[in-house]
Structure 1
Amino acid sequence: MARDNDKRNFALRTDNGEETSVFSGGTPRQAALKAARRLDPAPSEDDADPQKLRLREKGTHKVHVYEGWAWEEEAPDDKPDWMPGDITKGNVSKQGVEHLDEI
């Protein structure tokens, strides 16, 4: 498991360059998966509509671009008591890396 100092912060960017949320993870994909779970979930993975996620790595000019989607799924039978009956799952597909001229 990664230590806290191995975590990096990634800011979710809108189309106009505004940074609305920050997600942390050891890799850009971990942060993108967290961001994807915040999307409006579809009833199933097959019905999910991919949306573009742009995550700027804090302290750099790199923007990691992903397509992300989310869907609802029934929780497993061995779920803990506090877990709801339906859970939101997400997935991402990396599209590339962009470099900003300025931050």
Structure 2
Amino acid sequence: MVRQDGKRNFVLREENGTEDSVFSGSTPRQAALKAARRLPPAPSEEEVDGRAELRLREKGTDKVHIYNGWAWKEEKPSDGPDWMPEVVTRANVSKEGIEHLD
């Protein structure tokens, strides 16, 4: 379901079917990137050795968007604001497909 601001809510599904965390975004990829930033990060982008499967169900539908996600630590950009920590977590995802729940 689309909110008035154009964003949609996606629920992170665990392997056992439980749904705990809600991420919002105008696209499923935006929500998947937010979820991927919560993964345990690798020390750097070159040292990423594993990817986690992220299954995001769009609220109000039976569609489950499946992504592989990974995260890593990185120094803040040189033009970053003062409030930003010196080390930030970055993430990336790749879409694997869509499933429909029964």
Q: TM-score, normalised by structure 2?
A: 0.93
> Aligned AA for 1:78?
D
In 1, Cα distance between equivalents of 2:97 and 2:19: 19
In structure 1, the partner of 2:44 is 44
- Work out the percentage of aligned pairs sharing the same amino acid: 69
**How far is 1:4 from its partner?**
4.8
What 5-or-longer segments of structure 2 have no aligned partner? none
> Aligned AA for 1:27?
T
In structure 1, the partner of 2:11 is 11
Secondary structure of 1:6's aligned partner = coil
RMSD over equivalenced CA pairs, Å? 1.2
> Aligned AA for 1:29?
R
Residues 5-56 of structure 1 show CA distances to partners (whole Å, capped at 9, x for unaligned) of: 3100000000000001000000000000000001111011222221000000
**How far is 1:67 from its partner?**
0.1
User: When the two structures are aligned, how many residues end up with a matched partner?
Assistant: 99
In 2, Cα distance between equivalents of 1:47 and 1:59: 38
Worse overlay, 46-55 or 57-66: 46-55
